[in-house]
Structures are given as structure tokens and as C-alpha cells.
Amino acid sequence: MWTFLIFPLYLIINIHGLEDAESNHITIPIMRKKTPREQLFIAPNLKLYGIDFGWLHKPPHNHTSTNDSIALFRYLDSEFYGKVQIGQKAQTFNMVFDTAWRTSWVISNDCPFTTVGCLGHNKYDHTTSFTYRPNGTNFLANEGPYNLTGYYSNDTFLIGHTRINGQLFVEMTSVPADYALYKSDGVMGLGFKVDSYDPFFYSMLKNKSIEKPLFSVYLNRDRQSNRGGNLMLGFIDKKHIHQKQVPGQNHSIPEQITYLPVDPSNGYWQFKMDRIVVNKTNKNETYPYCVGGCDAIVDTTTSIIIGPMNDIRAIHKLIGATSAILGRSRVKCDTVNKLPPIDFMLAGKNFTLKGPQYVQKMSMGPIQFCVSAFMGSADPNEQKMWVLGASFLSHFYSIYDVANKRIGFVLAA
């Protein structure tokens, strides 16, 4: 076979000069023929037969912004999750973005079908990803009454518009049985870096996809919507801050953010809370808790507010809540709007929740019932600790300043 036939060129020879004795040259126009791949792109009707070669010429992912935003979705008013892709070929997972975890993890395809907690979830299969790199170090999280076990791996993560290459994470091979009830397939840890492990936000800072070392969380107060809110990486979105009217003037200004120093030594966003006060305004009585101050952390993955068992029992007595199931307490729905306001004092400022804000309305078919967002902890190590979940965070936009080791709260818009 002639050599020139293997090149995608047509040689069209114009021989005008051959009949002209005075001509001393031959002109050969060279026209480029489309390569086989290019012809496939423009071939008509291929998609009608299920053939699509578009993936061959997708432009490379190029994220040049210095911040990012991730949509969060609500599940049963108890979980807030976002979409994350792992690996190449990408696998999509529902992941909670957890300020109370440092390590990112996802349920592994190696989790046996006999493990109830893994049932019904999307599972990460590293054998399908050519960017997967093994690590193999064992992982164990002791969560008191139960454990999570797995092993470390490395792979590419696509979070929002940002790609993180070689992120270290855990493939979880055993999770508690109640995880079968969760929508999320894993956790993206937003805790502090305290050792050699880089939480994913630190990986973003390293590869300069995020410029400012802070993030913020807005949780949607509309419990009827599945849109749970947004995680803003690298910026504060002022549209989520409540505007207050300037006295005597015809314009408004954003509420001021209240910042508190955090202790990052254990990886949590832990800060000091001054006190909690239940205000029985109809009797002009106040009932203080967390007297003398106590520790608090925020948990962006749950809707509940956890406190010492004795304090929660006392609060439930004041709001007329009675024991239900799974550690929750029931409130009469016709009393919700009459319940006393509860103040959480932070840095000398009251952050107040009213009855409809700390009571969750739920329904099962035609039956509607209401449960308190407060839940008691029997753990002896947590009797001076409060955990503020979405019942608090949906009313106060939260800012996590990594560089300055501080957390901020402001009334949400």
C-alpha cells in the first residue's frame, strides 16, 4: 500500500502546466481531510442508535475561580447532603458536609451485603476508577455504642466545580445498622487539621482552588422544601445575612456577625457558650442552663440540639414535652406557637429560638405530630457539652474562619 494513503490528506494535482511548454512548475493544492475521530463527531443520526462519541472531545475541567458553592438538599428534615463525585470514571454520592468530622469517608463496595447499614446506599468501587491509588491503612472510629471500620484510599474528588486529585479518604466497610435509614452515602469532613491528614478543605487551599481560608453554611428554614441550603467555600454570601432597618433612615444594613474563638485541638469547631435561658414570659420567669458557661460545637448534618440529659429533661418539662421513641420527645402541636422563647447567649449576645423554630412538625399519612428538637445525652463525658444542629443553624448563618480560628453567627435572611 502506498505510504501517502495512510495520511488523512487528499492530493489534488492540477496539471495545467503540463500542456504549456513554458510552464516550469506544477501546483499541488493540499486539502486537509477530517480524521476518523472528527468524522465520528459530525456523523449524522449516530445518537439515534445510542452511539455518542461526545465524551472523546469534552474540554478539560478548568476551574479558575477562587471560591465555590455547593447546593445542599434536605432529607426528612433530618439530613443535609450535597452531591460529590469520586474517581474517574466518576461515581456520584450523596455526602453530608460535617463540621464535627475531620475525615472524609464513603461506604465501600467491599462492605458485605450482610452489613445492614450499607444496604440501599451508593457504594464506591475503586476497581472502576483509573485515578484510584491504594493506601490500605486500617481505620476505626469508636463512636461509643458502635464502631465504623474501613481502610484508607486515594482518589480524585469533584466537589462543586473543584477537582481535588489524590484526596485521602476512608472506604467504610462496616457501619451501624441505622445507617440504612440515612440518605447520605458518606461524610465530607469539615473539621480542623490536627495531624498529617488533610481534610478536603485544606486540600482545596493547597491546590489554590480556594483563596480565602474560610467557609460558611446557610441552611434553608423552609422545611417543606428539599433544598436544604448552601455550603460556601472561600466566601461569605451577604444575601444570606438578615438586613436591619437603620433607625430614622430609609435604608437597611446587614446584621453584624458575632465571632467566637474556637479550640481546634480536637478537630471540632468547639467554642464557649455563656448560658441558655428559657423565658416563661407569661409568668415573668426565667430558667437558666449551662450556668457559668459550657462547651458547644456545631453539627451541620443533623437537625437536633443535644445537651446534658438533666438539662434537657428540665427544658422538656417547661415546654410540656413527653417521651416518645428513639430518644425524642413529643410536643402538642396546638401549643407550638405559645411555647417560651429560648436564648442561647454567645459572646454576650442572645441568639433566640421561638417555639416553631425548636419544634419539628412531622407527618405519617394523615397523622401529624410534633417533636422537640432537643435531645439529651447520657454520655458522662458530654454533661457540659452542647451540640447545635440545624434547628439552630437554620436561623443563624454560620461562618467558619479557619485562618483566625473563630466561628461566626448572624441572623439569617
pLDDT at 144: 64
Give the pLDDT mean for 85-103.
Answer: 94
Give the pLDDT mean for 56-70.
Answer: 58
Residues of 47-76 as b/e, b for ≥16 C-beta within 10 angstroms?
eeeeeeeeeeeeeeeeeeeebbbbebbbbe
Give the pLDDT mean for 97-106.
Answer: 94
Q: Is the pLDDT of residue 65 over 80?
A: no
Considering only 66-80, 82-96, 156-170, which range has the smallest mean pLDDT?
66-80
Parts of the chain belonging to CATH 2.40.70.10: 68-219, 237-411
Q: What is the mean pLDDT of the chain?
A: 84
pLDDT at 324: 87
Sheet holding 385-388, edge to edge: 270-273, 294-298, 385-388, 305-308, 374-377
SS3 sequence of the chain: CCHHHHCCEEECCECHHHCCCCCCCCECCEEECCCHHHHHHHCCCHHHHCCCCHHHHCCCCCCCCCCEEEEEEEECCCEEEEEEEECCCCEEEEEEEECCCCCCEEEECCCCCCCHHHCCCCCECHHHCCCCEEEEEEEEEECCCCEEEEEEEEEEEEECCEEEEEEEEEEEEECCHHHHHCCCCEEEECCCCCCCCCCHHHHHHHCCCCCCCEEEEEECCCCCCCEEEEEEECCCCHHHECEEECCCCCCEEECCCEEEECEHHHCCCEEEECEEEEEECCCCEEEEECCCCEEEEECCCCCCEEEEHHHHHHHHHHHCCEECCCCCEEECHHHHHHCCCEEEEECCEEEEECHHHHEEEEEECCEEEEEECEEEECCHHHCCEEEECHHHHCCEEEEEECCCCEEEEEEEC
pLDDT at 223: 65
List pLDDT tens digits, range 284-319.
899 999 999 999 999 998 889 999 999 999 999 999
Choose the CATH number for 237-411 among 3.40.1080.10, 2.40.70.10, 2.60.120.10, 2.60.120.200: 2.40.70.10
pLDDT at 147: 86
pLDDT at 13: 35
| Catalytically annotated residues | 98, 299
Specify the CATH superfamily of domain 68-219: Acid Proteases (2.40.70.10)
Pairing mode of beta strands 294-298, 385-388: parallel
pLDDT at 17: 41
Considering only 67-71, 159-163, 238-242, 382-386, which range has the smallest mean pLDDT?
67-71
pLDDT at 163: 93
Considering only 93-97, 228-232, 306-310, which range has the smallest mean pLDDT?
228-232
Q: Full-prediction pTM beyond 0.85?
A: no
